[in-house]
Each structure stands twice: as structure tokens, then as C-alpha cells.
Amino acid sequence: MRGTGTVASLVLALRFLTIVPVPGHESTGPGALGRAAWWFPPVGLALGLVLVGADRALLLVFPPLLAAMLVVILWKALTGGLHLDGLADCLDGLAGRDPAHRVAIMRDSRIGVFGAVGLVFAIALSLAAMAALPGAARASTLLLAPVVGRLAPLVTGAVFSAATPSAGSGDAFISALPRAAGFVHAALVLLLGFLLAGPRGIAMVSAGLLTALIWSAFLVRRLGGLTGDGLGAGVELAELGVLLAASADGRVAGG
């Protein structure tokens, strides 16, 4: 039964975090996604491996900028734009007059001006940062960024509380989240960063997690806690933090 539950949690994590059709039964019930969080960074690692392979193949055919654009498109397509949607909702909601109004705006499925502009900036920054990376650094960065992104909600969910207790996807996730998962995976991902890129890899992982924590702390001040959209936006911003740190490091090293 325990093994079946583990497999069901993996199926849930794959179906939630990607658009890849996965056979089998997924975990259900209150808190199922939080309990499946142990699988989030491994799913991110699988995504990173796909992106590295795609980038190497595309670089054989296209110039670096175009290859980077195609990889970013594949990246967002494989995740179904889930975290971009959360980022857009948060940016729209932050314009509200008080926490309750902000949360209400975030629950509106329509995208507003702030959300649309924010998505353009986020994608443009991701593309520019990735295109600036040399070939060797691109591989390690593409591998690490999705892992750190999917580690982010495990860490921020363990540090901050939900904005709407007993209601919403954020509370359901945070309430069931194993607190040890974030810290165990953080240590493993830092080790992975070191093995891939030495101190630069540790800096990249740290930058991504720090970006997610700062973002989450800001949301807590504005909303009174984290929401599902806030957690999803943290994934997107953690990935962006890794990309920016990698490009900044390359710039310093190149100089």
C-alpha cells in the first residue's frame, strides 16, 4: 500500500507540474498535492534534462538566440504555463486596496494590465539571460533552474503560512507539506549545484531560493500569507533568479 501511495504521489506531481500524459492513478483527497511535494524537485530535474537535450540539439541547427527562444517556449509549454499564470494573477492582485481585495482579484481568471506586462518582462528576462550564457554554462543552468523552481514552494511553504487558512489551494498545500521535504531537498540541490558547477552552482541555487523567499515575504506583507498563485509565482521567479545569477556570474568571469 505504501509503495502504491508513493507511485500515486509521483503521478500527481507529474500531472500537476507538467502537461506530460502519465498513466496510472494519482493521489487524491485533501492535502494530496502537499504530500506529493517530495517529488517536485525530481520532476524539475527530469524537466531540466529534457531542456538540456533540446538545447543541445537546437544549437546544432540554430544560432544561440533563436535556440534559446525555442527552449524557453518548450519550457513554458511543458509546464502548461501554470506558474506564469500564478505570476500574472499575483501581479494583478497586488494592485488591490487591502488583503481581501487583493486575494479576490487574484482569484479572477481574467488577466489584467499588470499581469500581462509582468509576463512579458519575465519571459524577456529569461530569454535574454539564457541567450547570454556560453554553451557549457547553459547546460548546468538549464538543469538547475527547473529543480530550484520546484524546490521553492517546499521551502517557502515551510517558512510562511497561508493567506486564507482552511480555504484555497495554498492552504491545502502548505497544511499537508512535510516540513522536512524542503530542507532535505535544499541540501541535495545545493550539492547538485556544486557537482555541476562548483561554487558558481551553489550561488545559482542560493540566488533562486533567495528570490523566492524575498517574493514570498513581500506577498505575506501584502496578503497576510501565501496563496496557490503566490507559490506558483515563486516557482517562476526562482527559475528566473537562477538564470540571472548564471548570466551575471558569466559576465563577471568573462570580464
pLDDT of 179 higher than 70: yes
Q: Which of 38-47, 218-227, 243-252 has the highest mean pLDDT?
A: 38-47
Q: Tell me how far apart the alpha carbons of residues 4 and 10 are, in angstroms, rounded to a whole number.
A: 10
pTM of the entire predicted model: 0.91
Q: φ, ψ for residue 40 (rounded to 5)?
A: -60, -55
pLDDT tens track for 85-109: 989 999 988 888 888 888 888 887 7
pLDDT tier for residue 164 given thresholds of 50, 70 and 90: confident
Of the chain, the percentage scoring pLDDT greater than 70 comes to: 94
Q: What angle do CA 102, 105, 108 make, to 5 degrees?
A: 155
Count of Cβ atoms closer than 10 Å to residue 1 Cβ: 5
Coil, strand or helix at 147: helix
pLDDT tens track for 45-72: 999 999 999 999 999 999 999 999 999 9
Q: Tell me how far apart the alpha carbons of residues 241 and 204 are, in angstroms, rounded to a whole number.
A: 8
Coil, strand or helix at 162: strand
216-225: average pLDDT: 91
pLDDT of 253 higher than 60: no
User: For the purposes of burial, counting CB atoms within 10 Å of the CB of 201, is it exposed (0-12), middle (13-18) or buried (19 or more)?
Assistant: buried
The cell numbers describing 165, all together, are: 487558512
Q: Tell me how far apart the alpha carbons of residues 110 and 208 are, in angstroms, rounded to a whole number.
A: 28
